[in-house]
Amino acid sequence: MQIRKGKPPGSGQMAQVGVELSREARVRLAWMDFHRRTKNVARTCRHFGISRQTFYLWQRRYDPYDLTSLEERSHRPRQCRQPKVS
């Protein structure tokens, strides 16, 4: 018997049952599922009509245990400059 560190496979889907994903996030999840089955990035990109750059960006963000990682993030800067009052 092997003891492995981490979560068992498939536990992410069970934990995320109640999460409501946006339409865009569900499309990105379809990209990741297709890629997992085919193991071919070029074929995945051709099938969905996306660039490889876009695919790799979302692949880096994707966490199979947290499907909300496929949601769009804000483009607003975290910190803005404050004008100096003289």
User: At residue 10, what are phi and psi to the nearest 5 degrees?
Assistant: 90, -10
Report residue 81's pLDDT band, with 50, 70 and 90 as the boundaries: confident
Report residue 86's pLDDT band, with 50, 70 and 90 as the boundaries: confident
Query: How far is C-alpha 6 from the geometric centre of its chain's CA atoms?
Result: 19
The answer, as to whether pTM is greater than 0.75, is no
Mean of the pLDDT values across residues 18-44?
93
Per-residue confidence (pLDDT) for residue 14, from 0 to 100: 47
Mean of the pLDDT values across residues 40-50?
97
Average pLDDT, the chain: 85
